[in-house]
Copies of this chain bind each other. A is one copy, B any other.
Amino acid sequence: MAIGPRPVLEDVARLAGVSLGSASRALSVPELVKPATLERVNRAVEQLGYVRNGSARALASRRTMTIAAIYPSLDNPIFAVSIQSLQQTLWDLGYQLLVASHDYRPEREVGLLRSFVERGVDAVVLVGTDHDDAVFELLSQYKIPYVLTWSVDTSSQRPCVGFSYFDAAFKMAQAVIEYGHTEIALCPGQSYRNERVRARILGTQAALESAGLKLRPEWIIEQPFTFEGGRSAVRQVLGGVQRPTVLICGNDLIAIGAMAECREQNIYVPVELSITGSDDIELANMVDPPLTTVHVPKVEIGSFAAHRVVSLIEGATALEVSPLSTRVVIRGSLRKVT
């Protein structure tokens, strides 16, 4: 096989006895080439061990077949599942995935995006709907298709693939209330530059209000989306004069951290304190007691986003935004109060 310098398409063309153009067509649009020609080109490719040069293709065709995704973090299990399905689906559609994380510092997003624009990506996948104006300007200036994920923003015209955090929170709070709880604390995550957390707070409040309850401000505890965030939340909640009977957490990581802290402090979950999470990561069903949570379509978000973004690249006009569905999953960590 190929000795010396890497063969180029011209070598293939020469060996096959066709023109450069035909060789190119044989590889890119084989159906436009006579079977016999195709055959000869393929044989030449084989013989030379020829491999196309992606950079040259990208330059000439103005398509990189690459899509970038920017996440708050790559190792949060909820995102990881979604990244996995995004990558797989994109790959099947012929696209490669470039990933970056802003490490929960949204202000870094513009910089990351700028680099991606410069390197040339055909489209971008972002998490959430709340982004710096500069992000959207960059995207529109360079006419780069994008899709926002996880959250849906029905008020804007932006393409989204996600679910309603408001509804999810509303349903969970409703379930908690149905179970007899009235002393309810919420650890929603951190709301800065994060519409998902804000929607969660609003959804929870709405559910409480419609049951004639209210969410005390001192029981809205903002914490990072980590085990440690959950531990702190529990410490804070237990430190107050009055104690809630349930702690609704903004994701399963927080909830599991909270459960671990309770165990350490000998607070029996769910008898002394019920705990709920959100997302329904696989782990939620592995801990003791199993975690009550809301199931969200992690895998679908990844694969739908892939399809959506590719169809935008291929010129589809924005489709309507219909939120994916979520459902509350009741498990042992939520107790009935009588």
A: which residues have CB within 8 A of B? 1-2, 6, 49, 51-56, 58-59, 64-66, 73-75, 77, 80-81, 83-84, 87-88, 91, 96-101, 103, 112, 114-120, 141-142, 227, 256-257, 259-260, 263, 282-283, 285-288
Q: Which of B65, B74, B288 contacts A119 (CB 8 A)?
A: B65
Chain B residues contacting A88 (CB-CB under 8 Å) are: 101, 103
A13 nearest CB across to chain B (Å)? 18
Q: Which of B1, B56, B87, B96 contacts A74 (CB 8 A)?
A: B87
A230, closest chain B residue (CB): B286
A81, closest chain B residue (CB): B75
A321 nearest CB across to chain B (Å)? 26
Q: Is the CB of B51 within 8 A of A55?
A: no
Q: Is the CB of A96 within 8 A of B97?
A: no
Q: Is the CB of B80 within 8 A of A96?
A: no
**CA distance in complex: A114, B49 (Å):** 12
A35 nearest CB across to chain B (Å)? 24
| Given A75-B77, A83-B99, A256-B286, 14 further pairs, Cβ under 8 A | A55-B59, A56-B59, A66-B98, A74-B84, A75-B80, A77-B77, A80-B80, A87-B99, A87-B101, A88-B103, A96-B98, A96-B116, A97-B99, A286-B287
Chain B residues contacting A101 (CB-CB under 8 Å) are: 84, 87-88
Copies in the complex: 2
A263, closest chain B residue (CB): B288
**CA distance in complex: A256, B287 (Å):** 8
A58, closest chain B residue (CB): B55
Q: Is the CB of A73 within 8 A of B65?
A: no
| 30 intermolecular pairs with C-beta atoms under 8 Å apart | A2-B141, A6-B142, A49-B141, A51-B114, A51-B142, A54-B118, A56-B59, A58-B58, A58-B59, A66-B98, A66-B119, A73-B84, A74-B83, A74-B87, A75-B80, A75-B81, A75-B83, A77-B80, A80-B80, A83-B99, A87-B100, A88-B101, A91-B100, A99-B99, A227-B282, A256-B286, A260-B286, A263-B288, A283-B283, A287-B288
**CA distance in complex: A80, B54 (Å):** 28
**CA distance in complex: A242, B116 (Å):** 59
Chain B residues contacting A52 (CB-CB under 8 Å) are: 118
A6 nearest CB across to chain B (Å)? 7
A249 nearest CB across to chain B (Å)? 13
**CA distance in complex: A123, B285 (Å):** 39
Chain B residues contacting A91 (CB-CB under 8 Å) are: 100, 112
Chain B residues contacting A55 (CB-CB under 8 Å) are: 55, 58-59, 64, 120
